[in-house]
Amino acid sequence: MKRDFGLAILRVGTASLILTHGVPKFLKLIGEGEIEFGDPIGIGPTATLFLAVVGEFLCPILILIGFKTRWATIPPILVMLTAVFIVHAQDPFGRKEMALSYLVMLVAILIMGAGKFSIDNK
């Protein structure tokens, strides 16, 4: 019971925190006008923004409710790896720390799953 409660806190907390970054990106994606966004992997700003929205908005919603949780951690893990090792590669550790923290939490969720208090468990 304690483990499942801890997993729920980890899952809901992590997803909620990542959503604070994903919601503005989602709003930018559905907004009108030219999309100005970074292109760290060379696929174009619109495609990059779309992938960021998948990893920081859509998948965190799935993680939050505990639906297909392990699969849903993979896109945000890839986004965080990109943030740490490409976008902030030359930055000091303090600039990478948030993405690294999210990465650690997401990997823990990937390994342990959603727990009892999730749709996956129903």
- Distance between CA 107 and CA 96 in Å, rounded? 16
What was the pLDDT predicted at 121? 87
In which band, very low, low, confident or very high, does the pLDDT at 34 lie, cut at 50, 70 and 90? confident
- Structural tokens at position 39: 């292109």
What was the pLDDT predicted at 62? 98
Per residue, the 3-state secondary structure of the chain, as one string, reads: CHHHHHHHHHHHHHHHHHHHHHHHHHHHHHCCCCCCCCCCCCCCHHHHHHHHHHHHHHHHHHHHHCCCHHHHHHHHHHHHHHHHHHHCCCCCHHHHHHHHHHHHHHHHHHHHCCCCCCHHHC
C-alpha torsion sign, points 63, 67, 68, 69 = positive
Domain containing 54 equals 2-121
Q: Residue range 70-98: average pLDDT? A: 96
What was the pLDDT predicted at 36? 83
What was the pLDDT predicted at 48? 94
- Structural tokens at position 121: 């468990």
Count of structural domains within the chain = 1
In the chain, % of residues over pLDDT 90 = 87
Q: Does residue 82 have a pLDDT over 90?
A: yes
What was the pLDDT predicted at 43? 94
Q: What is the pTM of this model?
A: 0.93
**In b/e form, how buried is each residue of 5-18, taking b as 16+ CB within 10 angstroms?**
eebbebbbebbeeb
In which band, very low, low, confident or very high, does the pLDDT at 89 lie, cut at 50, 70 and 90? very high
Q: Does residue 27 have a pLDDT over 80?
A: yes
Q: Does residue 107 have a pLDDT over 80?
A: yes
What was the pLDDT predicted at 119? 95
